[in-house]
A and B are shown apart, each in its own frame.
Chain A
């Protein structure tokens, strides 16, 4: 792998050069949080953003998009929402999130909408420093070895830039003068020290190895009912999860000559009608059943199918769920540890 140096002052000029032929998306501030947004003014880029509200899956599969236009006679596929993009500032955990989605969307019958957007998006990763909710070290997604075109490690006055693909190499060649191939002894020491400091900064830890067995053994544990009672069934956990892929499809018709549309939009297995079939049979009527599906799928099913959980440790569910039902509190409950969460502390009040 080739590693180059880039002076901090040269980052924006480099982005300027490469974004001539593509939209540039990066994290920007929104209130006290961050979102991935398209931008022209590079000074808006939030270089130290820890996590965005919505993960970068929204760039590959928008929250809602049109799959087909239809007339009285036919369906015509619509890929107009997919454009050439450069996604800058994506952290290792979120790159792992995309690699996880790749497995699902590319298997059996590949999803052309996802794969097309994926192909059209250059991934420019950026190093990060964990806050109290990050647990990517526990999911082994704190470092990244594949899935990026370029990866920028932020070291004091300069970046170390990893080239991860042929496309990444092409991007460097658009402005080779910004980069320096000679790494000094000091550069390497700085990098090692940074690595170590980051590695020691994690405050949240979850032991994922045990969770598949504990899910099975705790299948009828009372905490599922408690969490179910507290759950708002709002679906926020799925919206913010980098690996939640579920979607719904509806057909829309318009007045006049405008063609109809077949729209695809994000769905969540915690919503009441998720498993309901025509005629009214609902295979998961209770919130506890739907919550259990969410967690079974991420912490157990993915392990049996792909060898690792689909959780990438970004901490979004920890900061989002209004009832504090999230991977950490559920893992604590599964392990029989005291649960520091609203749904546990007020279980009796909630179920009244």
Chain B
């Protein structure tokens, strides 16, 4: 009996839900900030996620790709993405005007264990685009400031012009309830007032930390992890309190397409947030 019929399975996890680009602007020459809202207002307000989770974004007729959510779940309604122009989908996203329709599904992945992090010191270390996922957890900590002890932020960019959310971070420096250290690999402007050097050069300037009581959150280019982790181990932060969020090729986000497989886990289901112990335990994570 040939012919079409309706699916018997209740929901299709692959169906992109319509959303609109509310606002978008350049953060640097090749990085853009997107504010997105589901067309269905009820869905926009009921959409719940955790800092560190990601979503699959579709550009009609171009394709679909995974992007971490840069907004915080403590500010519902708008979803924010911080996206670098590197591939087919991102190139198409950059061309879309405000109010354009895109597809969105998610949230996926494990996210940061914010419950376990409650009452602890939070050390956030970011390099380059590593800001994209960690901005979410940073804003979450700031919105729930009384639930965390010290919050320390280390951010390294290549050059001042490539520092994403530069103004946001400079204004954070004026706050007394967190430490914020910024650095650039090289200053080509002559105007840079902060540190120069890779992100690890910020470690000696840190106030004394209580390692057992600290969660370190790391995200940056692959080359950065080795050096940053070495510093964190030197500080005696327990391996399962060193958290990092990783990038992988994904075509489904829901543990089916196989591309993000590492050892016996799928980055999309069991990650993208992993501990340093996971890294030691499973080959190929970083």
Q: A104–B255 contact, CB under 8 A?
A: yes
The answer to whether B7 touches A116 (Cβ under 8 A) is yes
Among B61, B88, B103, B256, which residue has its beta carbon within 8 angstroms of that of A111?
A: B256
The segment out of A129-137, A154-162, A271-279, A339-347 that lies at the interface is A271-279
Q: Is A107's CB within 8 Å of the partner chain B?
A: yes
B251 touches A249 (CB 8 A): yes
Chain B residue at minimal CB-CB distance from A110:
B9
With both beta carbons as reference points, the residue of chain B lying nearest to A84 in the complex is identified as B1
Residues of B within 8 A of A119 (CB): 8
Q: Is A349 an interface residue (CB 8 A)?
A: no
Say what secondary structure dominates the interface of chain B.
Answer: loop
Q: How many interface contacts (CB-CB < 8 Å) are there between A and B?
A: 134
- Check if A72 is an interface residue, CB within 8 A of chain B: yes
Asked if residues B255 and A247 are in contact (CB atoms below 8 Å), the reply is no
B157 CB, min distance to chain A CBs, angstroms? 17
**Quick check: is A79 within 8 A (CB to CB) of the other chain?**
yes
How many A residues touch the partner, as a band? Answer: 35 or more
Pairwise interchain contact B247-A277, C-beta atoms closer than 8 A = yes
Contact call B252/A249, Cβ cutoff below 8 A: yes
Q: Is the CB of A77 within 8 A of B248?
A: no
Q: A83-B1, A281-B222 are in contact. Are A249 and B264 (CB under 8 A)?
A: no
Closest B residue by C-beta to A78 = B4
- Set A115, A247, A251, A305: member contacting B63, Cβ < 8 A: A251
Nearest residue (CB) in A for B61 is A253
Contact of A277 among B15, B60, B248, B263 (CB under 8 A): B248
The stretch from A141-149, A174-182, A203-211, A296-304 touching chain B is A296-304
B69 interfacial contact with A, CB 8 Å: no
Q: Mark B214-250, 1 if CB is under 8 A from A, else 0.
A: 0000000010000000000000000000000001110
Give bound CA distance, A83 to B90, whole Å. Answer: 37
Residues in A neighbouring B80, C-beta threshold 8 A: none
Q: Does A75 contact B (CB under 8 A)?
A: yes
Q: Kindly state whether residue A186 has any CB partner on chain B within 8 Å.
A: no
**Interchain nearest-CB distance for A61 vs B (Å):** 10
The 0/1 profile, CB within 8 Å of A marked 1, for residues 6-40 of chain B is: 11110111111010000000000000000000000
Residues in A with CB closer than 8 Å to B101 are 72-73
A219 within 8 A of partner (CB): yes
Any B CB within 8 A of the CB of A322: no
Whether B62 lies near A267 (C-beta < 8 A) is no
Q: Is B204 an interface residue (CB 8 A)?
A: no
Q: Which residues of A contact B61 (CB under 8 A)?
A: 70, 251, 253, 260
Q: Is B142 positioned at the interface, with any CB of A under 8 Å from its CB?
A: no
Please tell me if B207 contacts chain A, counting CB pairs below 8 Å. Answer: no
Q: How far is the CB of B89 from chain A (nearest CB, A)?
A: 8
A245: interface (CB < 8 Å): yes
Which among A109, A247, A251, A279 has the greatest number of chain B C-beta atoms within 10 A?
A: A109
Given contacts A75-B15, A79-B6, 19 further A-B contacts (CB under 8 A): A67-B14, A68-B14, A72-B60, A75-B16, A77-B14, A79-B4, A83-B3, A108-B254, A108-B255, A109-B256, A110-B9, A111-B13, A219-B283, A251-B64, A260-B60, A269-B261, A275-B248, A278-B90, A279-B86
Task: Please name the 8 residue pairs, one residue from A and one from B, whose CB atoms are nearest each other, closest first.
Answer: A278-B87, A246-B258, A301-B264, A109-B254, A112-B9, A109-B13, A279-B86, A278-B86
